[in-house]
Every structure is written in C-alpha cells, then in structure tokens.
Amino acid sequence: MNRTPTPLTEPADLLPLLRACDLPVGDIAPGPAQRFFGLRGAGGCIAVVGLEPSGALGLLRSLAVAPAYRGQGVARQLVAYAETQARALGVERLFLLTTDAAPFFTRLGYAALDRAAAPPAIRSSAQFAGLCPASASLLCKTLGAAAPGTQPLQEAAQP
Ligand SMILES: CC(C)(COP(=O)(O)OP(=O)(O)OC[C@H]1O[C@@H](n2cnc3c(N)ncnc32)[C@H](O)[C@@H]1OP(=O)(O)O)[C@@H](O)C(=O)NCCC(=O)NCCS
C-alpha cells in the first residue's frame, strides 16, 4: 500500500469502496467543489476521504477504509491530510455528518453540534439535505491557520 494520499478524480476510482462501506454515493462528482483523496493498493482504491470547500467552511465526507486495511491509522492519516488541504483552501471550520463514527472523530478534535446550528452552506449540501439519514450526527472542528506556503494539491489536478 502506498501511504501517500493522491487526488481521486474519477468516480470509478472511489465508488466501489464507498458502496462497499455503505456510504452515500448519489452526489459523487469529483471536481473543485468536491475533492477526493485516497490511497491505492494492488486492487485499486483502498481508502478515501472527501472535502467540499465552501469559502471559510467545509464539509468532510466519504471517509472509508477497506476492511483489510483498518486499524492501522489510515483513516486518521486521511483526515489529517484533508484538514491540511482544507486549510490551504482557506477553510476555517470543517463539518461532517456520521451515523456511527462520531467517537472516532471526537478523538480527532471534532465536537458535536445541533443540526439546527449548521450554517446554510453546510445545510444545503446534498449530504446534509438528504443523502445522510436525519439521525446522523453533525460534528465540527475549527482548523488552525495553514502553514506558510501550503498549496492545495488538487488545485493543479482539477480543471
Ligand atoms: C471509520 C473508519 C474510516 C476507520 O478507519 P481506520 O483506518 O480503521 O481508522 P484508524 O486506524 O485511523 O483509527 C482506528 C481507531 O479508530 C477507532 N474506530 C474505528 N472506527 C470507529 C467507529 N466507527 N467509532 C469509534 N471509533 C472507531 C478504532 O477503534 C481505533 O481505535 P484505537 O486507535 O484506539 O485502536 C473505517 O472503519 C470505515 O471505513 N468504516 C466504514 C465507513 C465509515 O463509517 N466512515 C465514517 C463516516 S463518514
């Protein structure tokens, strides 16, 4: 397994893993507004994370690790990577919805908040508006400033 995340720009790269992990795929459209990063193994994508930047706010989504690669810190690494990318894009607060991984994210500094407190930009995302069950928890993390000179990786890879 290559442990360096790379941009995933083709839906076919990430859909099989997301489907296998029962995560929503109805709105998947990689591009500047929906950036995906992942790790590849011999059989294709073995881990993925998504980022939807919207000004100073962002939505972290589609975090999935293939069962054979779990428990090795891969998800933690991908979340940290997505946060670095988010900071480089000017995102200051990162939100996410999860049905059963809230404890995983709270250990990474995310805090639960009432869905009613979600800003409009987050509330209008497809994940929030319908793809994630109403029972999914909303979590949020305030990101620190980007390291000087950090450039978002996918800027160059996207049209
Ligand atoms: C959740 C998920 C991404 C974790 O991937 P991972 O690579 O195994 O995670 P890491 O190795 O970085 O971290 C493992 C730690 O997180 C904990 N953890 C994993 N899944 C968890 C969950 N659902 N709830 C709470 N803690 C969890 C593990 O117990 C482990 O703890 P430890 O470090 O004390 O041993 C993976 O289980 C997965 O793909 N699940 C299905 C999809 C999903 O639920 N995605 C999250 C919502 S978008």
Residue nearest to atom 31 of ligand 1 (CA): 71
Pocket probe for ligand 1: among 49, 104, 131, 138, the residue whose CB has the most ligand atoms within 8 Å is 104
Bridge partners (DSSP) of residue 38 are 6, 48
Residue 158 burial class via C-beta count within 10 angstroms: exposed 0-12, middle 13-18, buried 19 and up: middle
Whether 156 maps to a domain, the answer reads: no
Question: 92-101: per-residue pLDDT in tens?
Answer: 999 999 988 9
Residues with Cβ within 8 Å of residue 130, at least 6 apart in sequence: none
Q: Is 75 in the pocket of ligand 1 (CB under 6 A)?
A: yes
Q: Ligand 1, residue 74: give the atom nearest the CA.
A: 7
Whether 153 maps to a domain, the answer reads: no
User: Do the bridges between strand 57-65 and strand 93-98 make them parallel or antiparallel, or are there none, so unpaired?
Assistant: parallel
Distance CA 39, CA 8 (A): 9
The amino acid at 102:
A
35 with 51: CB under 8 angstroms?
Answer: yes
Q: Within its chain, how far is the Cα of 92 from the centroid? A: 15
Angle, vertex CA 96, rays to CA 126 and CA 19, nearest 5: 65
Whether 133 maps to a domain, the answer reads: yes
Into how many domains does the chain fold? 1
Whether 101 maps to a domain, the answer reads: yes
CATH classification of the domain holding 137 = 3.40.630.30
CA of 156 to the centre of ligand 1 (A): 30
Structural domain including 99 reads 6-144
Whether 130 maps to a domain, the answer reads: yes
How many Cβ atoms sit within 10 Å of the Cβ of residue 107? Answer: 9
Whether 112 maps to a domain, the answer reads: yes
Whether 51 maps to a domain, the answer reads: yes
Whether 152 maps to a domain, the answer reads: no
Q: Is 104 in the pocket of ligand 1 (CB under 6 A)?
A: yes
Kindly give the confidence (pLDDT) of every residue in the chain, 159 residues in length, as a single tens digit, with 9 standing for 90 and above.
668 899 999 999 999 999 999 999 999 999 999 999 999 998 889 999 999 999 999 999 999 999 999 999 999 999 999 999 999 999 999 999 998 899 999 999 999 999 889 999 999 998 888 777 788 899 999 997 777 777 776 544 444
Q: Is 73 in the pocket of ligand 1 (CB under 6 A)?
A: yes
